[in-house]
Structure 1
């Protein structure tokens, strides 16, 4: 008796071959993993630092003055002492430094009696306001140190409750993860199935007993596994290298992966649509960019949707990537669970229903 043909074994064979092809494709690895990691590394190294203001120091400054020593101790200030007066003057005119300071220590029997001459320019912009604030804070600290009063008209009691600091990486990483899923799903799926049609691979598949659904399932699972591998790498680097918040540890990590898988399945529908309507391979990038580029810019990838103009925010909130990014951030930092972000999941699901309905209409096998 002949052995019955196994559709599942055929699907797994297709998936295995597709995964090998993905890892052998440099462009796929670069766009799916390298680009998001570069952004995460950049924002991870730079984003968590506070504001730093450059200020030039006049060569005549008394470096033993109490005020100067207090300014040196400020981590927000970078005092430039290795330039000539002429070089600092040019930097001041070009806005490269906020000001040039000249600190003098005047004779005094008790507490310090310092003076500071501040030279700035109209090119300093916001930096001079930041520096003035830091200078006022420094002087106030010295006054409190040297001129303490015995009593006070009021006492202040402060209660500090536990809290978590929301850093730049906590915002950027979910956005980059979401965009990585979107771009890989749209570009990868579109190029893959267009290439399979053009090279007549799909036609050869039809000569085998493999059903069409298992062909799509095998190729889809290969993309899913590759992107989940990428998500693991991105989250792990963010967590161990830059302190990305996973509030509930392993369970939060697992819920993020499940959400990524759901988002990827939805986004692959856009790839099917693009591959179906593209007439030539050269038309795929413009069509795919129409889908991905607006979401890259407006769906909360780099900036919060609330920071955009009021008239633009409704457009931002239509995009499916907005809801995936929002759900990932709520799960990672706020400690919510999948059932708590059901509004975001529901909108993604509605997008999935609509886009796959369109994909069924426009998708071509030959």
Structure 2
């Protein structure tokens, strides 16, 4: 007498078949692993330190009435951080700010009129700091001297003693890798799921499944599980390569790695919802890339994948901050470099879950079986 039909075994059979199908697709493997690894290698080989930047801050005690202060704040090449207190201290420790400047009047009554004191961090690339101090600041002071003191005196001088505070080195890879992992997860989730279920429907594979005892939820879970397993393997490869080859920071080691994997799993589930939407509303296979890019392309460009969203105009930043990929990138960077826990990233995770609820709510309405 035949045994009872097992939905779980049938689902796992679909999962195994789905995995074989994924591994046999060069485009899937290239999109999921190839492109992100290329970007990681390019940025990884660009250097181990922080980016050359003239993002600075001013000490609260700075003489803001001085000509030196007005000259510095009027130069477009200098970006002044508005952060203060602990936030400013953290940015300095992580090398996000090149230096904190304190401009004080020379009380000796002799030349120069002002002394510029610098406070920086060990996380800052010494070459960048030297370029700012010895070339950039020196050039500005020389230009001011030509106008105010064409002969001997000087309007300002930089204190040669730079105050250094301890700081963890923030490498280029610490910013790039989370963005590339998010790029991989979103691309594979949206495009992979959309093409997969559209193809299964067009080739009447789903219709054939209906002739078997397996129920519809297990069909979807089987195919989705294959996608999740493959993408989690790519996430492991990307993180381990970044860690062992390019010194990507995992503050708490294995604990941080496991939290990143949990976050990646959550992101996969959320992004796959939009793949189901695309597969349901696309009338032809050629329409899938266009529809999918409406959702994915703005996020690749605006969600902090390749550079910080602080670089965008102020009016655009609120839009950047509501995107789910933005919150994945921020949460992963906080977990990997800051040592934050998943629980402390509840706001980022909450926004991602809201996007997920919306996605699956729409997917239920538009998903087609035939």
TM-score of the aligned structures, taking structure 1 as reference length: 0.71
- The 3 A distance-change label for structure 1 pair 310 and 221 is same
Paired residues for 1:1-366 under 5 Å: 1-48=1-48, 133=135, 160-161=165-166, 163-366=167-370
Deviation at 1:47, TM superposition (A): 4.3
**1:147-190 CA distances to partner (integer Å, 9 max, x unpaired)?**
xxxxxxx99796743x2111110000000001110010000000
* Structure-2 separation of matches of 1:281 and 1:322: 29
Output one character per residue of 1:34-93: Cα deviation in whole Å (capped at 9) or x when no partner. Answer: 0000000000001436789xxxxxxxxxxxxxxxxxxxxxxxxxxxxxxxxxxxxxxxxx
Structure 2: unaligned runs, 5 residues or longer: 53-130, 140-158
Secondary structure of 1:48's counterpart equals coil
Larger radius of gyration: 1
**Residue in 2 that maps onto 1:110:** none
**Cα shift readout 1:124-159 (whole Å, capped 9, x = no counterpart):** xxxxx879718969xxxxxxxxxxxxxxxx997967
Q: 1:210 to 1:38 in 2, by over 3 A?
A: same
Q: After TM superposition, where is structure 1 displaced by more than 2 Å over at least 4 residues in a row? A: 47-52, 129-132, 134-137, 154-161
Aligned length: 273
Partner of 2:109: none
Mark the CA change 1:200 to 1:159 in structure 2 (over 3 Å): closer, same or farther: closer
Q: CA RMSD for the aligned pairs?
A: 2.3
Gaps of 5+ in 1: 53-128, 138-153
Q: Secondary structure at the match of 1:281?
A: coil
Residue matched to 2:84? none
3-state secondary structure, aligned to 1:247 = coil
**Alignment CA distance shift 1:136-1:10 (3 Å):** same
Does the 8 Å CA contact 2:49/2:170 hold for their aligned counterparts? no
Report what 2:61 is aligned to: none
